[in-house]
């Protein structure tokens, strides 16, 4: 055994000496070859030593230049990736336009460019698995959203014989008028001004009309009742259930009258007993004489009528539904009621999808916050209802080659509600792509922590711009996963008497560790207009890169400015509408007082 060990250690020492002598042998061999070449040049070709020295200098300079160039080309990618902060890059306009055309041919958009000026394509297939954009104010989120929206506005999807535009729903939770103004130029350049619809409570003159209680014949009124009532976010107690049932009974009676109605009609019916009885009589008479109505619907209507008539005998009928009345009263604000009150010329989200429109929703929660917040939740709940319907036949629609629906929700946290997280589970099958934009992850906790976890864990694309929020940075770092890395340790020695310094002494060690692909100091110190991205790829898994956000080139023609023309005022009375009015004059002044009290925030 000892002889075997001696032979083993001896062979290792022999191999080590061979490895150390290899460079020496190679150097000697090169010198011998060069010496022999110089000897031939001097003896046979009679080259002078001075000429030989001059040529050697030139050859050395040439070899050095070639070596430096090779070293630069070999290490430049690594140096660019390791440089921090990354300097801005410049991509020529023609090159950028070529990359955008390539993206369109691949059903994708260009999000930005990496440090090597290579485009990053974001395909529709990946977008349908949802995305989230995080970053503090001023980090460049608006620029990125403008880039994505602009490319979607100009895109034409499908084969030449079945070309489609991209239906779009843009939800601006900041109410940024400058963002809309810049977008108008792109919509006009794409020739889609006739497809643009604006929904802005602060500008009813140009806004489309959206009646939450507009129910088509093939729609379920109960679904509309549910999403409208849940958008109020009333306190969860006994009266909430009572108010929900009362609201449902009122709407059921109005639906069976066969006329269109709005929130004002529901309030008049709830507060005026005479109007309530008249509508009950009209609905009952119509249901009994109209063919095609099932017996179950008749029984349901009779049950609602019984509940409503019985409530009239309760002296505390109005106080018990006061929370519902106060929430509905907020929609009687002068400017908002112009949008939500009409019976005709209404816009629905189904029309936005089917007619390939662009819906821009601008909601400034700082003005009439209760009503604007409720309207935002109604729109989101209506969007969820639409996604649910499309999910039922989503695979058939995908087979028809219909375009993806682009939904951008910028600063939507104030309008979030608990059930909205369920939309992420069905959006992909509905061919709908959601992009959520937030300043930080804790904003989602205004609903609940469970809601935050469910929404933040669903997206397959996570984009992070500059943030100093610790929880947001930790969320992105954990999502990036851990990869194998090396930790180098060097041995140093203290030297000197007066001025002591630590010097390396040539010893060290390497330890294998696991660390996140994203570095904390990079996440919290990203320059403006740069971002870190994590994107799921079906073939390669999760991809990570540092991107420079693509900035859309803005062209302006002198003297040209896109104009949104005012809408034609709606009539106060429409033949097909309920047009309910108070029968008792005393209730008019009471309703006015309740409206003012509701707008002051009293529930």
Question: Which structural domain range is residue 228 located in?
Answer: 211-344
d(CA 470, CA 176): 28
Q: Quote the number of domains for the chain.
A: 2
Residue 495 inside a domain? The answer is: no
Residues 195 and 215 in one domain: no
Residues 243 and 325 in one domain: yes
Residues 204 and 216 in one domain: no
| 221 pLDDT tier (thresholds 50, 70, 90) | confident
Residues 161 and 238 in one domain: no
Q: Are 171 and 384 in contact (CB under 8 A)?
A: no
Per DSSP, the residues of 18-56 read: HHHHHHHHHHHHHHHHHHHHHHHHHHTS---HHHHHHHH
| Helices 238-256 & 295-311 angle (0-180, nearest 10) | 120
d(CA 324, CA 244): 8
Q: Are 460 and 476 in contact (CB under 8 A)?
A: no
Mind listing the pLDDT tens digit for each residue in 403-415? Answer: 889 999 998 888 8
Look at residue 576 in the predicted model and tell me its pLDDT.
75
Look at residue 600 in the predicted model and tell me its pLDDT.
45
pLDDT(1) > 70: no
Q: Which residue has the tokens 């020739």?
A: 191
pLDDT(395) > 50: no
Side-chain-facing half-sphere of 157: CA atoms under 13 Å: 22
Residue 55 inside a domain? The answer is: no
Residues 440 and 523 in one domain: yes
Q: What percent of the chain has pLDDT over 90?
A: 29
- In order of 310, 426, 461, 479, the CA distances from 458 in angstroms are 47, 11, 9, 11
Residue 603 inside a domain? The answer is: no
Residues 142 and 220 in one domain: no
Look at residue 550 in the predicted model and tell me its pLDDT.
94
Residue 174 makes CB contacts below 8 A (sequence gap 6+) with 364, 410, 411
Residues 269 and 204 in one domain: no
Mind listing the pLDDT tens digit for each residue in 6-54? Answer: 544 455 555 555 556 777 777 788 878 877 877 787 777 777 777 777 8
d(CA 487, CA 476): 23
Look at residue 367 in the predicted model and tell me its pLDDT.
74
d(CA 89, CA 441): 30
Mind listing the pLDDT tens digit for each residue in 441-468? Answer: 998 888 888 888 888 888 899 999 998 8
| 396 pLDDT tier (thresholds 50, 70, 90) | very low
Look at residue 571 in the predicted model and tell me its pLDDT.
58
Domain holding 534: CATH number? 3.40.50.300
Residues 146 and 178 in one domain: yes
Residue 98 inside a domain? The answer is: yes
d(CA 486, CA 544): 19
Residue 269 inside a domain? The answer is: yes
Residue 66 inside a domain? The answer is: no
Token couple for 495: 């030297």
Closest by CA position to 407, among listed 334, 478, 459: 459
Per DSSP, the residues of 427-440 read: TGGGTEEEEEEES-
Residues 87 and 153 in one domain: yes
Q: Are 369 and 415 in contact (CB under 8 A)?
A: no
Residue 238 inside a domain? The answer is: yes
Residue 527 inside a domain? The answer is: yes
pLDDT(342) > 80: yes
Residues 302 and 335 in one domain: yes
Instruction: Determine phi and psi for 349, rounding to 5 degrees.
Output: -70, -30
151 torsion bin: left (phi>0), alpha (psi -120 to 50), beta (else): alpha
Residues 321 and 447 in one domain: no
Residues 426 and 381 in one domain: yes
- pTM of the shown model: 0.82
Q: Give me the chain's average pLDDT, please.
A: 83
Single out the residue in 344, 369, 388 at which a domain terminates.
344
d(CA 244, CA 252): 12
d(CA 382, CA 3): 85
- Other C-beta atoms closer than 10 Å to the C-beta of 551 total 15
Q: Which residue has the tokens 């009950």?
A: 280
């Amino acid at each position: 055994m000892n002889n075997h060990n001696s032979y083993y250690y001896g062979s290792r020492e022999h191999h080590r000496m061979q490895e150390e002598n290899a460079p020496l042998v190679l150097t000697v061999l090169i010198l011998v070859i060069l010496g022999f070449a110089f000897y031939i040049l001097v003896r046979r070709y009679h080259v002078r030593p001075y000429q030989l020295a001059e040529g050697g200098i030139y050859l050395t300079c040439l070899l050095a230049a070639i070596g430096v160039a090779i070293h630069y080309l070999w290490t430049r990618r690594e140096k660019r990736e390791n440089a921090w902060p990354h300097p801005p890059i410049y991509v020529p306009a023609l090159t950028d336009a070529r990359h955008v055309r390539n993206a369109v041919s691949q059903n994708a958009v260009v999000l930005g460019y990496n440090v090597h000026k290579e485009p990053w394509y974001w395909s529709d297939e990946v977008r349908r698995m949802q995305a989230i954009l995080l970053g503090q104010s001023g980090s460049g989120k608006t620029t990125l959203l403008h880039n994505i929206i602009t490319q979607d506005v100009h895109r034409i999807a499908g084969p030449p014989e079945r070309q489609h535009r991209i239906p779009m729903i843009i939800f601006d939770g900041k109410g940024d008028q400058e963002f809309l103004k810049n977008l108008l130029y792109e919509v006009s350049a794409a020739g889609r001004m006739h497809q643009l619809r604006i929904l802005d409570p602060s500008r009813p003159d140009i806004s489309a009309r959206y009646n939450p209680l507009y129910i088509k014949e093939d729609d379920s009124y109960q679904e509309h009742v549910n999403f409208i009532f849940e958008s109020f976010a009333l306190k969860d107690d006994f009266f909430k259930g009572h108010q929900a049932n009362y609201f449902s009974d009122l709407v059921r009676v109005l639906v069976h009258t066969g006329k269109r109605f709005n929130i004002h009609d529901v309030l008049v019916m709830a507060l005026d007993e005479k109007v309530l009885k008249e509508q009950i009589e009209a609905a009952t008479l119509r249901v009994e004489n109209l063919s095609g109505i099932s017996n179950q619907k008749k029984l349901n209507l009779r049950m609602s009528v019984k509940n409503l008539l019985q409530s009239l005998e309760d002296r505390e009928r109005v106080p018990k539904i006061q929370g519902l009345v106060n929430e509905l009263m907020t929609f009687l604000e002068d400017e908002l009621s112009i949008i939500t009150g009409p019976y005709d010329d209404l816009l629905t989200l189904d029309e936005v999808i089917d007619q390939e429109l662009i819906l821009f929703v601008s909601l400034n929660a700082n003005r009439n916050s209760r009503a604007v917040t409720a309207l935002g939740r109604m729109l989101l709940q209506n969007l969820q209802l639409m996604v649910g319907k499309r999910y039922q036949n989503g695979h058939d629609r995908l087979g028809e080659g219909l375009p993806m629906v682009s939904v951008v929700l910028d600063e939507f946290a104030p309008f979030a509600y608990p059930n909205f997280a369920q939309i992420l589970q069905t959006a992909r099958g509905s061919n709908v792509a959601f992009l959520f934009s937030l300043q930080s992850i804790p904003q989602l906790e205004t609903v609940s922590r469970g809601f935050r976890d469910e929404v933040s864990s669903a997206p397959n694309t996570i984009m992070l711009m500059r943030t100093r929020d610790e929880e947001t940075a930790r969320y992105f770092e954990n999502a990036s996963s851990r990869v194998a890395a090396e930790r180098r340790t060097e041995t140093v020695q203290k030297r000197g008497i007066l001025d002591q310094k630590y010097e390396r002494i040539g010893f060290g060690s390497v330890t294998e560790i696991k660390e996140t692909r994203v570095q904390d100091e990079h996440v919290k110190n990203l320059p403006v207009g740069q971002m870190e991205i994590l994107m799921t790829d079906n073939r390669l898994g999760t991809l990570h890169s540092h991107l420079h956000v693509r900035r859309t080139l803005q062209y302006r023609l002198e003297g040209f400015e896109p104009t949104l023309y005012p809408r034609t005022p709606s009539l106060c009375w429409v033949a097909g509408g309920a047009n309910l009015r108070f029968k008792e004059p005393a209730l008019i002044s009471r309703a006015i007082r309740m409206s003012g009290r509701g707008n002051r925030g009293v529930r």
